[in-house]
Amino acid sequence: MENTELIKQVSAAAQIWLDGNYDAETKSQVKAMLNNDDKTDLIDSFYRTLEFGTGGLRGIMGVGTNRMNIYTVGAATQGFANYLKKQFASDSQISVVIGHDCRNNSRKFAEISADILSANGIKVYLFDALRPTPEVSFAIRELKANAGINITASHNPKEYNGYKAYWNDGAQLVPPHDKNVIDEVNAITRIDDIRFQGNKELIQIIGEDIDNRMIESIKAISLSPDAVRKHHDMKIVYTPIHGTGIMMVPKMLKEFGFDNIINVPEQDVISGDFPTVTSPNPEEPAALKLAVEKAKAEGADLVIASDPDADREGIAVRNDNGEFVLLTGNQTGSMLTYYLARRWKELGKLKGNEYMVKTIVTSETFKRIADRYGIQIYDVYTGFKWIAAVMLANEGKKTYIGGGEESYGYLPEDFVRDKDAISTIALIAEMAAWAKENGMTVYQLLKHVYMEFGYSKEKGISIVKKGKSGADEIKSMMANYRQNPPKELAGSTVTLYKDFASLKQIKDGVESSITDMPCTSDVIQLFTEDGTKVSIRPSGTEPKIKFYIEILGKMDSENDYERASDAAEQKINAVRASLGI
């Protein structure tokens, strides 16, 4: 039966766009939606206003309140400007850094944001061209700006774009700022409330100077320069997958000392259409296909890819049979955590006040490594803004070593406050040179980590549910898991149940409060007697419900890796059956 109330609601929202001071092309598209007997597009475009999630504002480009366009970007920027003017009313000059990625409309959205901020009397540092997300974070801190905006949809398909808002610490917004900005945005009920006419005198173009400052800062985090010098000619294939990494990563690798960087010419082409891939996501094998083919042809041992905004990276390495395998974010992150902890200890840099950070859905291998080296480790919610929040709280008190999340993001320095593929890729290459110096391939290093700290296998499963009906279905699934939590997973009893929405947990039948989280979050976690961990959460930026499964296994030797992996995969399938997914 047709939802007449919903259609009435979205039609009213669309009519505001028809009656308001919107451009003719936008009005034409809205009118076509209203006149169409099929109201699906109308509903999906107007049933809500885009909200900040774990990665900010993100959506499909098009007309409507639930789409990325000059008006939703304009409202977000005007609301952000209003909030900044309240928060920094005593500052003689508020300033904001603006960057963007390679996506269609990204430059337009960045320039519109610059115009709106400057129209509100705010100074803007606008990058001269596309730049990686971590460089925007770096520039905020380097230029002592009050905030930042980055136009990017990260690794999403080409139909998407997004808007990330940053605070003066260089990190994405956390409470109360994120909610307060949304309130300011929601308070803008008329298009005429947005000041689109910019003040060019308040817009300063930045670029190469910031590049060079960031490169010098990253060079200082190198831990094994001798190994790099010995293996400087190691063949490394790198692809930016049509994105911003091309601006910084090859240069950064050369500055670290690597002089045999092999490009993938087809993917060096900057394009928001991502012509060589279906999805520009380094998690997916298809995105690295051309790079792996190039590595085979060139005899390289290491393949590295960055996503379009160069905050995440994926790698492929040769296994013991010489075949390329893609490593997961947990595997790469575990090796980096081990490399950092071990090298800091070997270099005498561990003084007792160091710490690392991971997200709650990330592999517990990170924690086992940190514990072994006497390094404190924090567990935080998904989203690098929460890692950055810990860094801010510890600033001047403790020393940050590194941190990351399972979704292929890592940060091995403290002068950026978002995940950083630029520095991470440089460190991965250095780690590979160090492993080579110690008689290991990267693949053998991974097995060494598992032997020393215990084998684990992690798998992320995303179920896509699009549109209003999909959002409702995801809510229903989460409600069902809360009302009827599984009592066992793959035959192992659930001994600990955590619900971060209520900050309650039940351990061995006894309920208590979760006290180490800054706020609530729509996440459920299950832990079993045999060490299995399952996390369930709706995505904050995509129409998905996500399941994160971690299985503990056992390796009797490094040659036992494949058997342990196969056994863990069977266990994962059994856990999926228990969850009904």
Give pLDDT tens digits for 446-500: 999 999 999 999 999 999 988 878 889 999 999 999 999 999 999 999 999 999 9
pLDDT over threshold 50, residue 283: yes
pLDDT over threshold 90, residue 441: yes
pLDDT over threshold 70, residue 188: yes
User: Which one of 405, 436, 453 terminates a domain?
Assistant: 453
- Please tell me the predicted confidence (pLDDT) of residue 467: 81
Which one of 106, 154, 306, 423 is the catalytic residue? 154
Is the domain of 261 the same as that of 373? yes
Give pLDDT tens digits for 297-319: 999 999 999 999 999 999 999 99
- Please tell me the predicted confidence (pLDDT) of residue 580: 92
Residue that is written with structure tokens 């850094």 in the block: 97
- Please tell me the predicted confidence (pLDDT) of residue 48: 87
pLDDT over threshold 50, residue 345: yes
Across the range 80-87, mean pLDDT stands at: 98
| Spatial contact of 246 and 270, defined as CB atoms under 8 Å apart | yes
Q: What percent of the chain has pLDDT over 90?
A: 92
Is the domain of 383 the same as that of 480? no
Tokens in use for 197? 């006419």
Is the domain of 373 the same as that of 275? yes
Is the domain of 408 the same as that of 463? no
- Estimate to the nearest angstrom the gap between the alpha carbon of 489 and the chain centroid: 29
Give pLDDT tens digits for 212-228: 999 999 999 999 999 99
User: Which one of 172, 206, 240 terminates a domain?
Assistant: 206
| Spatial contact of 275 and 269, defined as CB atoms under 8 Å apart | yes
Give pLDDT tens digits for 260-281: 999 999 999 999 999 999 999 9
Is the domain of 512 the same as that of 367? no
pLDDT over threshold 80, residue 102: yes
Is the domain of 259 the same as that of 226? yes
Which has more confidence, 350 or 56?
350
Cα(169)–Cα(165) distance, integer angstroms: 12
Give pLDDT tens digits for 232-243: 999 999 999 999
The total number of structural domains that make up the chain: 4
Give pLDDT tens digits for 135-147: 999 999 999 999 9
Is the domain of 293 the same as that of 380? yes
Is the domain of 440 the same as that of 479? no
- Please tell me the predicted confidence (pLDDT) of residue 471: 87
AA letter at 442: V
- Any idea of the CA torsion for 260, 264, 270, 273, to the nearest 10 degrees? -160
pLDDT over threshold 70, residue 55: no
pLDDT band at 185 (very low <50, low <70, confident <90, very high): confident
Cα(114)–Cα(363) distance, integer angstroms: 40
pLDDT band at 1 (very low <50, low <70, confident <90, very high): very low
Distances (CA, A) of 239 to 82, 431, 502: 40, 19, 43
Is the domain of 380 the same as that of 273? yes
Average model confidence (pLDDT) across the chain: 95
Give pLDDT tens digits for 382-398: 989 999 999 999 999 99
Longest dimension (CA), the chain: 71
Looking at the DSSP assignment, which residues form a beta bridge with residue 98? Answer: 126, 149
> Can you give the residue range of the structural domain that contains 516?
456-579
pLDDT band at 114 (very low <50, low <70, confident <90, very high): very high
Length of the chain: 581
Is the domain of 266 the same as that of 397? yes
- Please tell me the predicted confidence (pLDDT) of residue 124: 99
- Please tell me the predicted confidence (pLDDT) of residue 560: 95
- Please tell me the predicted confidence (pLDDT) of residue 468: 79
407: annotated active-site residue: no
pTM to 2 decimal places? 0.94
- Please tell me the predicted confidence (pLDDT) of residue 241: 98
pLDDT over threshold 80, residue 284: yes
User: Which one of 185, 206, 227 terminates a domain?
Assistant: 206
CATH number of 375's domain = 3.40.120.10
218: Cβ–Cβ under 8 A, 6 or more apart, which residues?
252, 255, 413, 422, 423, 426
**Beta strands 524-528 and 492-499, pairing class:** antiparallel
Is the domain of 71 the same as that of 190? yes
CATH number of 525's domain = 3.30.310.50
- Please tell me the predicted confidence (pLDDT) of residue 4: 86
Is the domain of 247 the same as that of 359? yes
- Strand ordering across the sheet containing 354-359: 376-380, 354-359, 399-405, 409-411
Across the range 168-177, mean pLDDT stands at: 93
Across the range 21-29, mean pLDDT stands at: 95
Give pLDDT tens digits for 313-337: 999 999 999 999 999 999 999 999 9
Give pLDDT tens digits for 400-412: 999 999 999 999 9
Of 56-60, 271-275, 291-295, 427-431, the poorest mean pLDDT is in: 56-60
pLDDT over threshold 80, residue 2: no
